[in-house]
A and B are shown apart, each in its own frame.
Chain A
Amino acid sequence: MAVSPKRPRVAKEWLRVARRSVRDPFFLAPVVFLLLLPFLVGLNSSGFLALSLVFAAIYILLALAWDFSSGMTGYLNFGIPFFFGVGALTAGYLSWHGNRNILDLLLAAFGSGLLGGFLFSVPTLRLRGPYFALLSFLLPLIGTDFVLAYWVPFHWPTEGFYGLPFLADTPGGELLVLSVANVIVLTAFVLLRNSHFGLVLRGIRDDEDALLSQGISTFPYKVVAFTLASGVVGFAGACYAMVNTYSGVDAFGFDFNLFPILIVLIGGAGELVGAAWAGAIVILVYEYFFPIFSDLTLIVFVLVAVVLVLFVPHGLVRPLRQFVKFMSTKEEPT
């Protein structure tokens, strides 16, 4: 059998990318942390901390997806709640029709997110400028309208789909599933970011004209990034539905935009690993304070986000990375 001469070069390239990624302590630390977390909390745990971490893990998935697509390319996507709702409703619909296999529901939600992301990004990413951001803003609204308009004619239960299977038997088990999912998604996105693909995505953010002038068509890169991210968001939507054993039209809620954006702003756009740390902190703080201060917590969170965008535009991971690099640089003797 003839072997393509390109194949060893591609394998070598990916090996180089993997080696480079593994050597980065900022990548390894959250991976180890995410894998150990369910065991530290306890696989049979069903307390406040385990449940809060389950939601944190779902939001970290959303933040990773948002960072990979919007943080890396600079094309803002406000349609996260739409793909989240699509994933949740796909899982709910299939479960309502008798499919109780968790893997089937997760894969179907991932697939529906991919399909939705592809269909949306192809017409809107053809053009540069604000079209994508603004049209993605409309997506959650039309998702809600569509479901409400056709819920009854389609003979769906009007309150939503109840009785979805649990993601695992206990919140500790759900945390394990979500931690593994987060590690897989984080690893895949970090590998892609460190590859040629990621280089082009970052180039789109920094200077798309320069890429186009070099004959690089940026359109397919953007479409692939947004399609992959939408698939992950759909998957997260199914996880959320299974944690609550319910999926309804509230999965299209615009608030699902706020936390991923806030997490990425704190972690730093395009950093990916920042989302894992910031996600855990933001959601734990929110889950702790919301029962005490209710909507005031949201107001403080949005204020923090505004301050971050205005005064710390690169987030917290990049300065930390620079500090570590500075400290580890040995001073040359004069």
Chain B
Amino acid sequence: MAGSILAPVIVYGTVFGFTYVLLALGFTLLLGISRVLNLAYGALYMVTAYMIFYFAVEMGYNLVLSTILAGGIAVAVGVAVFLLCTKFAPDPMRFLVVTLLVALLLQYLFSYYFQGQSGYIIPGLLPTKEILLYGVSVSPIYLWTAGITIVVFVALWVWIDWTSYGHTVRAAAEDPETASLFGIRVRTVYLVVVAVSSAIVALAAILIVPAQEVTPTMWVEPFVIAFVVSVIGGLEQFKWTLPAAFLLSFSQFYVEFSYPTSASLSDIVAFLVAIGFIIVLPKGIGGIRSGR
């Protein structure tokens, strides 16, 4: 690797790697526990961003209150979509179609209400003045996001692996029928996991979106990242999102800096990495450890 691209690849790869972990954690957690693929996952990111814009900018509410309200609405939407789908479209393929349609519905609704595709800037809770890290300019938003991601990741690990409710969640994930025989309310467990998953993606939006723009199609990118990271890590194992996210972010930034073009190649790299894993390691990195 040429020396000139070494620093930006390492800095951006590391910083954005944590962002990818945060984006993918909720998706993989939900997939691992309730075994459903939620295409509306990215839409919750968009809901949070638009709601912050609506409450803080259009209504003039206090930023902290706006952020809490926006996060709460995202969680409520996530839970409502899950309840609707599990009640009326329980088979996985119909679930997939409904969640995609819900994502499109939210996209068109926001596009209609907020008048078109133009981007909005929303205020954030974190400082935005860029700082230099090994000669590379980085927004402190991403550094804060990295720190908060570590806390969320550890908290989630402790919750799932070390608490009694975590054991209940794992039991419901491993064998829902046997778990319900032992008195575990599997549906309630799933709802808790959906709420946690929605809260994580809402947190990601609260932290990251002030560094970006709010647009009606902004839900696609977080979903793509979450999906590719979960393919690399192993579709159902949230712990492996950490190495998977870094593998993806380093690959993307290496290609971006090595082969500069007139448009971003990050989606192409993500696609190729995902295809490569599906061919060589269909169970992802987690599959290596379990010998699958």
Contacts and interface: CB of A to CB of B under 8 A. Distances in A.
Given A78-B100, A141-B224, A299-B105, A310 B88 contact: yes
B23 to A, nearest CB: 15
A198 to B, nearest CB: 19
Interface in B253-267: 261-267
Interface stretch (B47-55, B143-151, B179-187, B274-282): B274-282
Interface in B223-278: 224, 227-228, 231, 235, 261-268, 270-271, 274-275, 278
A316 interface: no
A151 B104 CA distance: 29
A306 B93 contact: no
A142 B279 contact: no
B274 A135 contact: yes
B76 interface: no
Nearest to A124: B278
Contact of B101 (A130, A306, A311): A306
Nearest to B272: A142
B211 interface: no
B263 A127 contact: no
Contacts of A78: 100
Interface string A259-283: 0010001000000000000000000
Q: Quick one: which of A76, A129, A138, A141 has the most chain B CB within 10 A?
A: A138
A290 interface: no
Contacts of B89: 309-310, 313
B227 A134 contact: yes
Contact of A130 (B92, B217, B265): B92
A150 B263 CA distance: 8
B108 A145 contact: no
A149 B92 contact: no
B224 A306 contact: no
A149 B97 contact: no
User: What is the size category of the interface that chain A forms with chain B?
Assistant: 35 or more
Contacts of B139: none
A134 B41 CA distance: 13
Nearest to A258: B104
B109 interface: yes
B282 to A, nearest CB: 5
Contacts of B100: 78
A306 B102 contact: yes
Contact of A151 (B105, B228, B262): B262
Contacts of B111: 295
Contact of A74 (B93, B98, B217, B228): B93
B61 interface: no
A152 B262 CA distance: 8
B278 A149 contact: no
Given A134-B37, A302-B101, A148 B263 contact: yes
A124 B101 contact: no
A133 B96 contact: yes
Given A124-B278, A299-B108, A150 B261 contact: yes
Interface string A231-272: 000000000000000000000001000100100010000000
A309 B105 CA distance: 14
Interface in B205-235: 217, 220, 224, 227-228, 231, 235
A145 B96 contact: no
B84 interface: yes
A150 B262 CA distance: 7
Contact of A149 (B109, B261, B279): B261
A129 to B, nearest CB: 8
B242 to A, nearest CB: 21
Given A130-B92, A134-B37, A134-B227, A302 B271 contact: no
Contacts of B39: 137
Contacts of A313: 89, 94
Contacts of B157: none
Contacts of B159: none
Contacts of A148: 262-263
B165 interface: no
A135 B105 contact: no
Contacts of A150: 261
A131 interface: yes
Interface string A109-151: 0000000000000011011011101110111011001101111
A309 B263 contact: no
Contacts of B262: 148-149, 151-153
B93 A311 contact: no
A302 B105 contact: yes
Q: Quick one: which of B101, B108, B112, B282 has the most chain A CB within 10 A?
A: B101
A137 B271 CA distance: 10
A225 to B, nearest CB: 16
Contacts of B224: 137-138, 141
Nearest to B109: A299
Contacts of B228: 138
Contact of B97 (A76, A131, A142): A76
Given A131-B282, A133-B37, A141-B224, 4 more contacts: A130-B37, A131-B278, A295-B111, A302-B108
For the complex of A and B, list the 9 residue pairs with the smallest distance between their C-beta atoms, beginning with the closest: A148-B263, A149-B261, A310-B88, A149-B263, A295-B112, A302-B105, A141-B267, A142-B268, A298-B108
29 contacts: A76-B97, A123-B279, A124-B275, A126-B278, A127-B282, A131-B231, A138-B224, A138-B227, A138-B228, A138-B271, A138-B274, A145-B267, A145-B268, A146-B268, A148-B263, A149-B263, A149-B264, A150-B261, A254-B217, A265-B97, A295-B112, A299-B105, A299-B112, A303-B105, A306-B98, A306-B102, A309-B94, A310-B98, A313-B94
